[in-house]
Amino acid sequence: SYELTQPPSVSVSPGQTAKITCSGEALPKKHVFWYQQRSGRAPALVIYEDTKRPSGIPERFSGSSSGTMAALTITGAQVDDEADYFCYSIDPSGDSWVFGGGTKLTVL
Amino acid sequence: QVQLQESGPGLVKTSETLSLTCTVSGVSITNFYWTWIRQRPGKGLEWVGYIYYTGGDAKYSPSLKSRVSMSVDTSKNQFSLQLTSVTPSDTAFYFCARGGGDYEVDFWGQGTLVTVSS
């Protein structure tokens, strides 16, 4: 079955840049979406179609994709950004969607 | 604004059927895809499947395909999930959300915990 691979954890100090990666063999042809999930809450969309930011999401959140690797970058991370982040994309067949395993971002 | 609310039993017995309904407000259920996602306690997100509002296009996770079905009731602005022959490994928070097909999942319900136990 298709897999998206993320690092389990990323840690930065406040004000630093956090970069969370997501790798998958179909990413050269399929969009990636990123979700933030704070503790005890439902996930929230922070990046769609690789690089687009929904209204209300701070500009410090950005997305990129090149080849089989996509990335979510938080420039000037804040303590409030501490959360789990999941990438999401469709498998090569186009029949099912898959989440990455999630990355726990610590900002302290 | 768009709001989704899951409802259904919080406890289901092993081997029985899990049934959940998602009530959508703030937008008509028509012209959209609708998705179910689950999350075992302390674990990652797992895509369960999606359905188009007409019911004519539905896709399910390969690992759950033999046990899952979804339906839409446009008159009530609701869509539903049924998962048969459940086991304790189906214990999870179940989220309903807008999106699916080729479209991103953008709005989520708050999630509901379903525990499977004998």
- Residues B72-108: tens digit of each pLDDT: 999 999 999 999 999 999 999 999 999 998 888 999 9
Selected for mutation to probe chain B from A32, A48, A50, A97 (highest B CB count within 10 Å) is A97
Nearest to residue A70, comparing CAs of A16, A18, A24?
Answer: A24
Contact B62 A96 (CB under 8 A): yes
Asked whether the beta carbons of B48 and B38 are under 8 A apart, the reply is yes
Spell out which residues of chain A touch residue B105, defining contact as CB-CB under 8 Å: 33, 45, 88
Whether residue B118 is predicted with pLDDT greater than 90 in this model: the reply is no
Q: Which amino acid is at B59?
A: K
**Around Cβ B27, how many Cβ atoms within 10 Å?**
15
Rounded distance between C-alpha atoms, residue B74 and residue A34, angstroms = 29
Asked whether the beta carbons of B50 and B101 are under 8 A apart, the reply is yes
* Tokens of residue B22, six digits: 């998602």
Spell out which residues of chain A touch residue B37, defining contact as CB-CB under 8 Å: 99
Place A1 in a pLDDT band, splitting at 50, 70 and 90: confident
B40: β partners: none
Place A35 in a pLDDT band, splitting at 50, 70 and 90: very high
pLDDT of B101 reads 87
Q: How far apart are the first and last CA of chain B?
A: 40
Which pLDDT tens digit goes with each residue over B34-74? 999 999 999 999 999 999 999 989 999 999 999 999 999 99
Spell out which residues of chain B touch residue A7, defining contact as CB-CB under 8 Å: none
Q: Which amino acid is at A33?
A: F
**Half-sphere exposure at residue B63, Cβ-oriented, CA atoms within 13 angstroms:** 10
